[in-house]
Amino acid sequence: MYKIVNIEKSLQSALDQGEGIFRLFPNWVPRVFCIPGKRLKLHPNDYFAYGVHRGGIDERWFASTTKADNGPETLVDEGLSYIYCENNKENKKILLKDAIDVMGNEIIGKKIMDKYNCWPLYSKFFDNLEPLPLHLHLNDEKAARVGRKGKPEGYYFPEQLNNHSGYFPHTYFGLNPGTTKEDVKTCLKNWDTNDNRILHLSKAYKLELGTGWLVPPGLLHAPGSLLTYEPQFASDVFAMFQNITWDRYIPYELLIKDIPENLKTDLDYIVSLIDWDLNTDPNFYQSRFLKPKPVNPLESMKQDGYEEYYIVYGNEHFSAKKLTVFPKNSVIIREQTPYGIIVIQGHGKFGKFEIESPNMIRFGQMTNDELFVSFNAAKQGIEVKNESNRENLVILKHLGPEI
């Protein structure tokens, strides 16, 4: 673990040098129940850099102050983003979490600190070759029973990172209308006997590049095999409801990992994690499917040399935008909340920082594709410049709550 020396002085220096913007280290997360889709631009030899027993790296987390929950072998800083302090001799890297603990008002703003006392979101690239098991994320009430927070999340499927679609580019969402709680309990009772067949109670939707979904807590879902950009609340709570996926067994412990000790065998309580109205909503597609929405009139933006769309919206805790700056153009972008960015195409400048989308990354290597924009810098505005004369500069932005 790194040692903090004069952290406040180092952070103020980094803020001043970056004019309110931090550069962040790549942040890789393995999952033992996943098979990497190998679209993260990580070197082919590095997908098992944590050890084969830890599973493959199929996630990269952005602007994260949330520790990954990967069982007893989880590293002390697994899932946590580091700030890169290039010109600092004492601290070359500082945890974003520690930075916000020390200088939260200056970095994310007093209103967010007063409400959440933390940076309340992170985002990730999820990159799995196969679909995940049907699972849900707990709401605030249920998560609070194990000392955690609930987790809504959003999905967006970027064209730039989906050179192949994996084995199953469909996601199961919810439960078929007419499904009963006894139907679900029967599936859970059969966990150790055979395939518990819970997918027979759900419906799959074909995934479409350049679109997304809003996934509230309590919604059963089995994410498909497209690489997915996922802004979400700062929590890693879940409960797996499917015991076998693609001939791989899912341990029962992954169903009950966020259940209070005295309720781990209580199927009525476990089923109560499901938001029944949400899961059986006959208008689910209409209310949860996300088409990109332009932030300003399209013709006006194009005349100014850029396009920007809301790609994840409808949630009070976070949102996301896709910014495209056309070749040899620049634009000044202002936001009313702090945010992180990840560059997925092209190269240029973001404020004073050079940015680029890398072709290949070695595990542990620094990159120029991820930044964090502090509250004041976001409000003042950042000039984003595309320095290519041929290729678009494309950036995904995960934004905090506007309070």
Cα distance between residue 154 and residue 366, in whole Å:
27
Please say whether the beta carbons of 230 and 312 come within 8 A.
Answer: no
- Residue 159's closest CA among 392, 400, 398, 399? 392
pLDDT digits (tens, 9 = 90+) for 349-366: 999 999 999 999 999 999
Both tokens of residue 245?
């996926």
SS3 388: coil
SS3 label, residue 75: coil
The pLDDT-based confidence of 114 (bands split at 50, 70, 90) is very high
Mean pLDDT for all residues in the chain = 95
Question: What is the reported pLDDT for 354?
Answer: 98
Query: Is the pLDDT assigned to residue 12 strictly greater than 80?
Result: yes
67: left (phi over 0), alpha (psi -120 to 50) or beta: beta
Residue 109 pLDDT exceeds 70: yes
Domains and CATH numbers, the chain: 31-76+105-290 (2.60.120.10), 293-399 (2.60.120.10)
Report CA torsion sign: 164, 54, 46, 79.
positive
| DSSP 8-state symbol, 8 | H
pLDDT of the residue at 87: 72
Q: For 225-244, what is the mean pLDDT?
A: 96
User: Mean of the pLDDT values across residues 204-223?
Assistant: 98
Residue 343: pLDDT over 60: yes
Q: Would you give the DSSP letter of residue 335?
A: -
255-291 pLDDT per residue, tens? 999 999 999 999 999 999 999 999 999 999 999 999 9
Q: Read off the pLDDT of each residue in 41-69 and give the average, rounded to a whole number.
A: 95
- The alpha carbon of 289 is separated from its chain's Cα centroid by a whole number of angstroms, namely 17
CA atoms within 13 A on the CB side of 348: 29
Write down the pLDDT at residue 5: 60
**Does the pLDDT at position 369 exceed 90?**
yes
Tokens of 390: 């041929």
Q: Does 2 have pLDDT greater than 90?
A: no
Q: Is the dihedral of CA 62, 7, 20, 399 positive or negative?
A: positive
Range list of β-strands (E), 143-245: 153-156, 170-173, 203-206, 212-215, 221-222, 228-229, 232-233, 239-240, 244-245
* Average confidence (pLDDT) over 185-205: 96
- How many whole angstroms separate alpha carbon 68 and alpha carbon 77? 8
Query: Tell me, what's the pLDDT at 90?
Result: 64
Crossing angle of helices 7-17 and 96-108, in 10° steps, is 60
Place 69 in a pLDDT band, splitting at 50, 70 and 90.
Answer: confident
Instruction: Write the pLDDT tens digit of every residue in 296-339.
Output: 999 999 999 999 999 999 999 999 999 999 999 999 999 999 99
pLDDT at 403 over 90: no
Percent of the chain with pLDDT over 90: 91
What percentage of residues in the chain have a pLDDT greater than 70? 98
Query: What is the structure's pLDDT at 91?
Result: 64
* DSSP string covering 84-143: E-TT-SS-SEEEHHHHHHHHHHHHH-HHHHHHHSS--EEEEEE-BSSPPPSEE---HHHH
Q: What is the pLDDT of residue 86?
A: 79
Q: Round to whole Å and give the CA distance between 289 and 197.
A: 26
Backbone dihedral region of 280: left (phi > 0), alpha (psi from -120 to 50 degrees) or beta? alpha
